[in-house]
Amino acid sequence: MRYASRIEALSDKSLLNAFEVIETPDMISFSAGFPSPETYPLEAIRESFDHVMEESGKEALSYGSTSGYIRLREIIGNRLAEKFNLRYNLEEIIITSGSQQGLDMCGMMFINKGDVVLFENPSYLGAVNALRAHEATLAAVEIDDQGISMESLKAEVERYGDRIRMIYVNPDHQNPTGRSWSLERRKEFMTFIRDYDIPVVEDGAYAELSFGEELETPLAALDARGQVLYLGTFSKTFCPGLRVAWVCAPKTIMEKILILKNAADLSTSSIAQRQMAYYLDHYSLDNHIRGITAMYLERKDIMIQMLREHFPDSISYTNPKGGLFIWVSLPEGKDSRELLIRAQKRKVSFIPGTSFYPAADRHRELRLNFSNMDPDKIREGMKILGEITTEYLKE
Amino acid sequence: MRYASRIEALSDKSLLNAFEVIETPDMISFSAGFPSPETYPLEAIRESFDHVMEESGKEALSYGSTSGYIRLREIIGNRLAEKFNLRYNLEEIIITSGSQQGLDMCGMMFINKGDVVLFENPSYLGAVNALRAHEATLAAVEIDDQGISMESLKAEVERYGDRIRMIYVNPDHQNPTGRSWSLERRKEFMTFIRDYDIPVVEDGAYAELSFGEELETPLAALDARGQVLYLGTFSKTFCPGLRVAWVCAPKTIMEKILILKNAADLSTSSIAQRQMAYYLDHYSLDNHIRGITAMYLERKDIMIQMLREHFPDSISYTNPKGGLFIWVSLPEGKDSRELLIRAQKRKVSFIPGTSFYPAADRHRELRLNFSNMDPDKIREGMKILGEITTEYLKE
């Protein structure tokens, strides 16, 4: 059978494996990229489903509008205004089946075969895969402690010029590094990029998962040109199984996104959207987020403590101000994939950094998720991982 | 902002409008393409949600595997074997977010810009849109009372040769015409096409909505070469709001579909899949289908009667053996879009045939849905439509 040329570009199954590999229940997993299921407000969700079925079961089980359930879009719009000072009209907000679908639609929207997409290096590999599927040429922009490296960005813009058709960034508690861009860097970036006709896809998946009181300023809030597409989701703040997320941008862009959404899957599950809207109207997502971030902060601190106490001094790691991940770097010449093989034998898992480098050949980092294991498991798993690492680094 | 070239191909908003246009509640609508919401087994669905939340709430609200919930795929596999003699292994069945997503993935899988896709003329416009989004060149194959016209098919295959990369067909109670292919035509088609390296995308959305006891033989059951991708869905037999459908094909194809599914949206809602599996395990979907097809048959018969009694003899129409639609043809030179303008003024709506012709300029047909209005509304709406048509045809 002859396939489209994009199928070749998708030969990297690394992301896929992260979802398809079934970890045995006795494993201590630091691989996850999602909130801890123990935090899901099961009773409230069940009650929401009951109410939706009772009050509007027929509508909830029918096709919904392609743009999404109006009440849900209203609530999302209000939240974005309140928390991030982002002002979108209703028609500038479209519900997607997870943020992954938003990424796929951004690819559909802007990428012809061979067009260049700039990524942070490293970056979220789901985005990489979504854009690979549209045969983008991936170009890496380095990051530093303040966020995207302006120097590296300018060099890539110089290098690829007009071929660049998108920049994908994840400025808040980034997946995989846990790093957030400083406000100054955000401003610098937006000031630079407004001179270019390049859409910026801002992935705000972790924006609300902050350990502090303050939330970061989205790039979209600094967008003078109308070039930012802002992606948000309930998958990290609430739960991923409902597959409810959103994409926002100025109206001229959203009119086209709407057509793509329609071609992609007609509409996102009505019942999931209505359930979510009911929850948001009758419970406090803010309280829920306060609860989970407090829990994640505790877990992050334990993981950092274990890294400090049980790992060789030659490693380095980030200490994130939110999100779900710590990024660990092994010394030059070491390979986290080798470490994973050893760790799995002792029933510990994580994701090797390799898969987060769409355009580079780097293997010495690893991503540790701290949200999904309880403190005892974190201590136990990190102790094992520390032993293995110590041994490995001696070789 | 510069968009990908595919955005231009998607300028036709006709399908979109069918979902975005809000019909006033006092309207008699023959536009729908879905089951009647009054048939949804609300209590059973609510109970299923409750059970899923109680027994596996955490799993149901987490990311599911990309291929889909195993128990659901098992049940689907068993049903396909039992009803259609289709034999797929578990890894040959992937759950999609509606059949629309399956169509989108088929486009991703096989279509490079400019590749030719053969369609029935007319055909389902959601498929047309999904494939347009991948910049397919659409080529129309005529249909007759027995199904796809072999003569027309051979002519198109002759004409486009190796450029043809997909054939999309909807052999059972087709949307929009309501026609089913004869068994003989199915065999003839499969015998012909096995000599070509062309994937056949068979849309079985209406396959189980038969008014008789017997179901048609899917093309997939006659597939000696392993070239058929079979799409099925619960949207027409149960309800569309859950967005649960499936695609099946031989393993080598499905391995690639799995990667595309992952890039498109990671996974379909776990809770929706588990709810569906619970329903299928604890209730009888077959009984449900028997109930709704009996209801639709009654409604179809009333609509046919109204067509016979209240419309001019110069129109023609199909008399389907299942599905949701009757296809009406006005005499040469008349335009169903003009008829729609007049009908809407009198609070009746339908979908003009225009949008079902991806590669032709035909306007004298209309699609009437009979599943969504009760008998009284059908009589009332068809009487009005008959009056308007009679008047219009006199001009």
Answer yes or no: are the C-beta atoms of B171 and B320 closer than 8 Å: no
* Alpha-carbon gap: B229 to the closest alpha carbon of chain A (Å): 12
**Cis upstream peptide for B122 (omega within 30°):** yes
A contacts of B8 (beta carbons < 8 Å): none
pLDDT mean values, one per 10 residues, chain B (395 residues): 83 49 76 90 95 94 93 98 97 96 94 95 88 91 96 98 96 97 98 97 97 94 97 96 96 94 91 97 97 97 98 97 98 95 93 85 94 96 98 95
Q: Do B265 and A259 touch (CB under 8 A)?
A: no
Among A12, A101, A113, A265, residue whose Cα is nearest residue B115: A113
Phi-psi region of A164 (alpha: psi -120 to 50; beta: other; left: phi over 0): beta
Contact B3 A109 (CB under 8 A): yes
Q: Which of B58, B259, B270 sits opposite A13 (nearest CB)?
A: B259
Q: Which residue has the higher pLDDT, B187 or A355?
A: B187
List CB contacts (< 8 A) between A165 and chain B: 2, 4
pLDDT of residue A8: 78
For residue A15, the model assigns a pLDDT of 46
Partners of A108 on chain B (C-beta within 8 Å) are 4, 6, 133
Q: How far apart are CA B56 and CA B65, in angstroms?
A: 15
B34 contacts in chain A (CB < 8 Å):
62-63
Task: Provide the shortest C-alpha distance from residue B213 to chain A (in Å).
Answer: 27
- Residue-wise pLDDT for B1-18, tens only, equals 888 888 877 765 554 444
Give the helix ranges, DSSP H, for chain B: 6-9, 14-20, 42-60, 70-84, 98-110, 125-132, 150-160, 183-193, 251-265, 270-282, 285-310, 336-345, 375-394
User: The tokens 């910026």 sit on which residue?
Assistant: A200
Query: Is B126 in contact with B107 (CB distance < 8 Å)?
Result: no
- In terms of CATH architecture, what is A6-40+287-394? Alpha-Beta Complex (3.90)
Strand order in the sheet with B365-369: B316-317, B325-329, B365-369, B351-352
Tokens of B63: 């990311």
Q: Mark yes or no for CB contact B258/A16 under 8 Å.
A: yes
Topology of B6-41+287-394 in CATH? Aspartate Aminotransferase, domain 1 (3.90.1150)
Using a CB-CB distance cutoff of 8 angstroms, which residues of chain A are in contact with residue B100?
263-266
Q: So what's the pLDDT on residue B20?
A: 40
Q: In what order do the strands lie in the sheet with B164-169?
A: B93-96, B245-248, B228-233, B200-203, B164-169, B116-121, B137-144, B147-148
pTM above 0.90, yes or no: yes
Residue of B nearest to A267 (CA): B243
Asked whether the beta carbons of residue B46 and residue A57 sit closer than 8 angstroms, the reply is: yes
Is A243–B20 a contact, with Cβ atoms under 8 angstroms apart? no
By CB atoms closer than 10 A (0-12, 13-18, 19+), residue B130 is buried
Size of interface A-B (CB pairs under 8 A): 246
B138 contacts on A by Cβ (under 8 Å): none
Q: Where are the domains of chain B?
A: 6-41+287-394, 66-282
Q: What percent of chain A has pLDDT over 90?
A: 85
- Smallest CA–CA distance from A245 into chain B, residue: B265
> Which is more confidently placed, B362 or A304?
A304
Cβ–Cβ below 8 Å for A265 and B239 = no
Beta carbons within 8 Å of A20's beta carbon, 6+ residues apart: B65, B66, B67, B258
Q: Which of A50, A197, A264 sits opposite B2 (nearest CB)?
A: A197
Cβ contacts of B352 within 8 Å, gap of 6 or more: B336, B337, B339, B340, B363, B365, B366, B367
What gap in Å lies between CA A90 and CA A108, rounded to an integer? 22
Residue B112's DSSP bridge partners are none
**Partner residue facing B19 (CB), from A16, A63, A112:** A63
pLDDT value for A22: 47
Q: For residue A374, list chain B residues with Cβ-Cβ distance below 8 A.
A: none
Rounded to whole angstroms, the Cα distance separating B125 from B355 reads: 7
Suggest the residue from A262, A278, A355 to mutate for an interface test with chain B (most B CBs closer than 10 A).
A262
The pLDDT score that the predictor gives to residue A12 is 57
Contact assignment for B259 to A49 by CB distance below 8 Å:
no
Centroid of chain to Cα A87 = 22
A271 and B1: CB-CB below 8 Å? no
Chain B residues whose CB is inside 8 A of the A60 CB are 241
pLDDT number for residue B357: 87
Residue B4 to residue A108, Cβ atoms within 8 A: yes
| pLDDT, position B12 | 57
CA atoms lying within 13 Å on the CB side of residue B111: 28
| A260-281 mean pLDDT | 94
- Residue pLDDT, tens place only, A54-105: 999 999 999 889 999 999 999 999 999 999 999 999 999 999 999 999 999 9
Q: Which of B74, B61, B72, B95 is nearest to B270 (CA)?
A: B61
List chain A residues with CB under 8 Å of B105: none
Nearest residue in chain B measured CA to CA from A62:
B241
How confident is the model at residue A132, as a pLDDT?
Answer: 87
- Tell me, what's the pLDDT at A23? 60
Gap between the Cα atoms of A262 and A265, Å rounded: 6
- What is A42-282's CATH number, 3.40.50.920, 3.40.640.10, 3.40.50.1240, 3.30.450.20? 3.40.640.10
HSE-up of residue A294 (Cα within 13 Å, Cβ side): 7
Nearest to A31 by CA among A21, A39, A40, A44: A21
Which backbone phi and psi does A378 adopt, to 5 degrees? -60, -45
Please name the residue that has the structure tokens 């029933």: A347
Cβ separation of A253 and B1 shorter than 8 Å?
yes
Phi-psi bin for A106: left (phi > 0), alpha (psi -120 to 50), beta?
alpha
* CA distance to partner chain B, nearest, from residue A303 (Å): 23
Rounded to 5°, angle at Cα B296 from B293 and B302: 145
Tell me: the pLDDT tens digits for A158-190? 999 999 999 999 999 999 999 999 999 999 999
For B216-230, the pLDDT digits (tens) are 999 999 999 999 999
- Beta-carbon contacts of A48 under 8 Å, excluding residues fewer than 6 positions away, are A275, A276, A278, A279, A282
What is the CATH number assigned to the segment(s) B66-282?
A: 3.40.640.10
Distance from CA of B308 to the nearest CA of A (A): 31
Mean pLDDT calculated for residue range A308-322 = 97
Q: Which residues on A lie below 8 Å from B6 (Cβ)? A: 108, 112
CA distance B86 to B195: 21
Contact B263 A46 (CB under 8 A): no
The pLDDT of residue A18 is above 60: no
pLDDT tens per residue, range B287-305: 999 999 999 999 999 999 9
Q: Which three-class secondary structure state does DSSP give residue B94?
A: strand
Show residues of chain A in contact with B20, CB under 8 Å.
65-67, 258
Residues of chain A neighbouring B37 (CB-CB closer than 8 A): 58-59, 61-62
Is B259–A134 a contact, with Cβ atoms under 8 angstroms apart?
no
Beta-bridge mates of residue A316 = A329
Of B4, B19, B253, the CB nearest to A266: B19
Amino acid at B256: K
Contact yes or no for B209/B173 (Cβ under 8 A): yes
Q: How far is CA B101 from CA A313, B71, B95, B114, B234, in A?
A: 49, 21, 10, 21, 13
Contact A132 B58 (CB under 8 A): no
Query: What is residue A173's predicted lDDT score, i.e. its pLDDT?
Result: 97
Contact A4 B112 (CB under 8 A): yes
Q: Do B264 and A132 touch (CB under 8 A)?
A: no
Average pLDDT estimate for A235-247: 95
User: Which chain A residues are closer than 8 Å to B259 by Cβ?
Assistant: 7, 10, 13, 16, 129
